Amino acid sequence: MNPTPSIPNFDNKRALILHRPHQIAEALARQLRQLGMTSEAAWPDFPAHRDPGQFDFLVFDADMGHDSQFPWRPGGAPIPSIALIGSEAPGRLAWAIRQGADAHLLKPVGSGGVYSALVIAAEAFAKRVAMVGELDGLRARLDRRQVVAEATACLMVQLDVSADAAFDRLRRDAMSDRLTIEDEADRVVARLRSSHVRNRA
């Protein structure tokens, strides 16, 4: 049986509303206050004197937004972001999609929808961060496998042995030195490169 998901609580969370002065921004700020949140508005750019980490959410105007108003690359918001969408013009929708918003909220902002957008944005952002971390881990593991392959090839040449014998030697040396195979491979490759540099000198 699946556990019942916890109900998100947004008390004392902070939001930045990146929107020109307008009734929409005011209505959004009121809804956020009712949820126990504080907010501040800015336009046209993300405040240069503020760190994104000072906010828990970003709500931005997808109708009048542009890439240069953010201090990060498109799709790389470091906090959960919500796109305020009023126009269904293809170009505007394409821009909003390119920003990688974690949720969206339709204009005009009424008495509902804000809580749902916050919940969805928080969950989507958490999943995105976890996915990026997993990809980084996979890349790191791939890099480590490559150095093992390089070290094995080096030992094959140095010892004039097969790939299996070279890998066995690498594994035994790693156990003897109380290192992982990857760390032992780093040592083998570093020794080879150092020797190569000395020989060239």
> Has residue 177 got a pLDDT over 90?
no
| Amino acid (one-letter) located at 126 | A
Give me the pLDDT at residue 106, please.
92
Give me the pLDDT at residue 61, please.
95
Q: Collapse the DSSP code of 200 into the 3-class scheme (helix H, G, I; strand E, B; otherwise coil) and give the result.
A: helix
Q: Exposed, middle or buried, 6 (CB in 10 Å: 0-12/13-18/19+)?
A: exposed
The boundaries of every CATH 1.10.10.10 domain in the chain are 134-200
- Which residue is associated with the tokens 């998901």? 5
- For 112-155, how does the pLDDT look when each residue is reduced to its tens digit (9 = 90+)? 899 999 999 999 999 988 887 777 777 777 777 888 888 888 88
Instruction: Find the mean pLDDT for residues 64-91.
Output: 92
Distance (Å) of CA 132 to CA 52, 76, 136: 19, 11, 6
- Architecture of the CATH domain 14-112: 3-Layer(aba) Sandwich (3.40)
- Architecture of the CATH domain 134-200: Orthogonal Bundle (1.10)
Angle, alpha carbons 41-46-49 (nearest 5°): 95
Cβ atoms 46, 16 nearer than 8 A: yes
Q: Distance from CA of residue 141 to its chain's centroid?
A: 18
The boundaries of every CATH 3.40.50.2300 domain in the chain are 14-112
Give me the pLDDT at residue 60, please.
96
Query: And the tokens for 107?
Result: 């204009």
Indicate whether this model's pTM tops 0.75.
Answer: no
Q: For the chain, how many residues are written?
A: 201
